[in-house]
Amino acid sequence: MKKLLLPVVAAAVVLSVTGCDKKGTVSGTVIDPFTGESVSMPTVWIDSSIYGTQKTGYDKSGLQEGKFKFEQVPVGNYLIKARRSKYVLGQQNFVTTNEKPNVEITLYEYSDQVAPGLYVPNPKGAEKISNDWAIFSTTCKESIAGYRISYEQNMNASAVPDAKNKKKAKKADIKVNNLPQPKVIGADVDVLYCNSSSVTASVEAASYSAISGPVSSHSDCMGFENDKSGIFASPEKKTPLTVSYKAEGLYEIKGNLPKGRQILVLTQDGKVLQTYYVEVK
């Protein structure tokens, strides 16, 4: 998969300005990607320029609805940013030319209280997909991802034996934890992934058919202990998903999945970040 279109830009913005270049209008709206609603009263500015909503004389009347407008902007290459207190930074590169000096931009920023994970956007409040399968996941290489079907837990492992309760403390209370059923979803995937581990590297996403198989055939997976079988991602049945940058640490994941049980795998720099067990209806 190709790298994301918007890298973090630390260098100075290059402006292509000559005496013959036109000037245009840069306008747009700041949106919360989790709800689709506008972000009220954001601060918006074009990096390394004189244009910003915080500047003296700027007409702030549209900012209540998250709208901004900068006029008489020379054509060139720019980086525009949006920020608000207790929100995560949103930014986007854009280019204007003599042929197209005007541009309409949508910037995204979201609450800094959003916890890492996978979300389904919703105007009434985004739904977080709880990763009930995380404690069953194993570390794999060629097999991509794997799940334990079950594991046993000694509920008295931390008990401290004493003279009066000697027998009870020694008796193991074994609880069997079974792999939760996959989450039922539709074929059209449109979710947001919040990743706090790094904001500079690209996130990649793909879905793999989930297959049952013997652990002995997946020796590259670690964490199965004495298990004989497990659930594995099938590398031959891969469905790549489209990942696009939304704001710092936030990515939009879209695609169409085949029916059946799938393992959704999110990676960064070749390392698996999270996996989700789903059943596509």
In a domain, 11, yes or no: no
Helix and strand tally (H, E) in the chain? 1, 19
In a domain, 272, yes or no: yes
The answer to whether residues 31 and 154 belong to one domain is no
**What is the spatial distance between Cα 166 and Cα 19, in angstroms, rounded to a whole number?**
90
The answer on pLDDT for 163 being more than 80 is no
Of the listed ranges 129-143, 150-164, 259-273, the one predicted with least confidence: 150-164
In a domain, 27, yes or no: yes
The answer to whether residues 100 and 153 belong to one domain is no
Q: Strand 203-214 and strand 260-268: pairing?
A: antiparallel
Looking at this protein, which amino acid is placed at residue 211?
Answer: I
If one counts the domains in the chain, the total is 2
In a domain, 18, yes or no: no
- Write down the pTM of the prediction: 0.81
In a domain, 242, yes or no: yes
Q: Which domain holds residue 121?
A: 117-280
pLDDT tens-place string over residues 49-107: 999 999 999 999 999 999 999 999 999 999 999 999 999 999 999 999 999 999 999 99
Label residue 58 left, alpha or beta by phi (over 0 means left) and psi (-120 to 50 means alpha): beta
In the prediction, which pLDDT does 1 show?
Answer: 43
The answer to whether residues 141 and 258 belong to one domain is yes
Of 133, 128, 83, 174, the C-alpha closest to 275 is 133
The answer to whether residues 95 and 124 belong to one domain is no
In a domain, 65, yes or no: yes
The answer to whether residues 100 and 124 belong to one domain is no
Domain boundary, last residue among 108, 134, 152: 108
**What is the spatial distance between Cα 156 and Cα 166, in angstroms, rounded to a whole number?**
12
In a domain, 86, yes or no: yes
Of 13, 12, 9, 37, the C-alpha closest to 26 is 13
**What is the spatial distance between Cα 252 and Cα 110, in angstroms, rounded to a whole number?**
13
The answer to whether residues 147 and 260 belong to one domain is yes
CATH number for the domain harbouring residue 48: 2.60.40.1120
The answer to whether residues 272 and 170 belong to one domain is yes
In a domain, 8, yes or no: no
The answer to whether residues 128 and 225 belong to one domain is yes
